[in-house]
Homo-oligomer: A and B are copies of this chain.
């Protein structure tokens, strides 16, 4: 991966629907050169997928919560069960197993507080093995990017 690849990945992480020609002009290359680079980046797995990003506010799903979760038991079987079940919850877009006081941090998107309460009562805390939770409500998104800086 050279500097041109990094610049190209940066462009693609910002907008993947431009024409090859447009990227080529930005990079000072021919369309074929850019085309081959993109195909290589896809082949090597650097580019994982191409997705559309939905505007949460316009979609009316802009109530975001970061919820820390502690399990009551850390037996392998129960841990795996929790991880399997949390993946199935459509309100949960992200779930990280983390170090520290709590075991997991979840990112949750719902319509409003009523929906969040419903989610917590009927879905999350209804799961087996949940010890305790602590919710941090998102007041504003200061930065929200899906791009990874490659230096």
Contact = CB atoms under 8 A, between A and B. Distances in A.
Interface string A73-103: 0000000000100110011111111111010
Interface in A2-35: 9, 12-17
Given A47-B53, A61-B150, A142 B93 contact: no
Given A9-B52, A105-B66, A148 B94 contact: no
Interface in A101-151: 102, 104-105, 109, 134-151
A86 B15 contact: no
A87 B147 CA distance: 13
A46 B58 contact: yes
B139 A86 contact: no
A52 B55 contact: no
Interface string A54-74: 111011010010100000000
A67 to B, nearest CB: 11
Interface of A: 9, 12-17, 44-56, 58-59, 61, 64, 66, 83, 86-87, 90-100, 102, 104-105, 109, 134-151
13 contacts: A9-B52, A9-B54, A12-B52, A14-B51, A46-B55, A47-B52, A59-B150, A86-B142, A91-B149, A93-B146, A95-B144, A100-B134, A104-B142
Given A45-B58, A96-B139, 14 more contacts: A13-B52, A13-B54, A16-B17, A16-B51, A44-B58, A48-B54, A48-B58, A50-B51, A53-B146, A92-B143, A97-B140, A97-B142, A100-B134, A109-B148
